[in-house]
Chains A and B, each alone.
Chain A
Amino acid sequence: MKSDPRDLLDADLSPLPEEQEEELARALRAAFAPAELDPAVNEALIAAALEDPLAPPTEEEVAESARLRDALEGRGEHPAADLARALSAAASPGRLDDLALERVATRTVGRRKSRGRIVTLAFGTTATAALALAASWFLVIAPALHDRGPELEALAVSRSTAGMFPEKFEPGTTTARVDRIALARSRELRSNRYALWGVR
């Protein structure tokens, strides 16, 4: 194995065609000392990356959604599956079995001192719904929101764009305004994604 770059001089290497050599040199220069990106090119790259939410899913997205589907069907685990189940339970609560009921009651009011007597509780639909909601809140939603608190605080929110236009609208400038609004929000969507990924 050659470790000294000078040894390469001895290797039987054919020179690159001039065009390829120039391209390689450009790529190496750009990697070593990248020039400032033209703002228009930057916007175009952002637009290409973010402004086609209806684009076909990537392989990674397909794999991730399959994993989530399997988790929701009871095969394997996925971080979003618990939250999805909790939201589903809150929107359309089912009956709690005795064991789940006992767990919720214990968690919210503390363990009973005396366990000598078995109490059978028969709740109506409203009570069951309240308990299901309470359970989903305490067990899943609240911890999830608490954990995401710092990220949520950093998110850009939907709001009026009036402040972006300090001057009276001139005729024939609607497209420019819509462009500006869309680009501003696409930047914010990118920031939101980074914030949720914990990248700052």
Chain B
Amino acid sequence: MGRLACLLTLLVALLAGAVGGCSKGESSAVGDAGVPVDPVLLAFLSRARSAHHIADQHEEAGRLEQAVDPLQRLVDGPVPGGNALSAPAEVREVMADTLARLADLKSQLGRQDAALQDVERGLQLAKETTYFRGHLFEIRGLVEERLAKSLEAKGEKAAAEEAKKRALDAAEKSMAIQAEVIEKATAPGAGR
């Protein structure tokens, strides 16, 4: 039995070494950024393109409700990897950008709560300091402004003031993120 244990230990050790070697090799092969660009990623991006072009046509014709539909189907549909939070970076960014557009459209339709939920969902996907995240805060500010106006129109002044304050906060955050993006992009050594 001692021989068996020895053999098994050796095999497991060899396997661990091999797997470690594999991880190292994969890292150098495909980089730390992600998996190789594949047809599944392209399928999602192609679907996203179609959804936005369809939405464009409806939006240009003033049919905002119909413009929401293809975008909603995109963000609620399948994503590479099965989970948006762990999807490839491009997918998360396109989803975040789409959610920002959805939020803007819903807000124009007076659906401010749904719009703010879309912004929140987008922020979960765009956590890095990028224009995608900054844009979501910008849209949040816009939605809060529209909310403030509608509350004012209803005579709910205190709630309207709160919404205005949140709009300002969001705009400030958007500006801060955008400034940070610019600083990073223009820092010495950036883009190397």
> B-contacting residues of A (Cβ < 8 Å)?
50-54, 104-105, 108-109, 119, 121, 123, 127, 130-131, 133-134, 137-138, 141-142, 145, 149, 152-153, 155-163, 165-169, 174-175, 177-179, 181-182, 185-186, 188-189, 192
Contacts and interface: CB of A to CB of B under 8 A. Distances in A.
- Secondary structure at the B interface, as helix, strand, loop or mixed, is helix
Contact of A155 (B12, B19, B29): B29
Contacts of A127: 8
Interface in B133-182: 134-135, 138, 178, 181
Given A51-B42, A51-B46, A166-B185, A160 B25 contact: no
Contacts of B181: 162
A168 B30 contact: no
A161 B49 contact: no
B61 interface: no
| Closest A-B pairs by Cβ, 9 of them | A158-B34, A159-B33, A158-B88, A152-B29, A182-B45, A162-B130, A175-B52, A155-B36, A53-B39
B14 interface: yes
Interface in B56-83: 56
Given A109-B10, A162-B130, A174 B52 contact: yes
- Secondary structure at the A interface, as helix, strand, loop or mixed, is helix
B29 A153 contact: yes
Contact of B89 (A51, A138, A158, A178): A158
Contacts of B191: 163
B109 interface: no
Contacts of B97: 169, 174, 177-178
Given A50-B42, A185-B45, A159 B90 contact: yes
From A130, A131, A141, A157, name the one whose CB has the most chain B CB atoms within 10 angstroms.
Answer: A157
Contacts of B135: 168-169
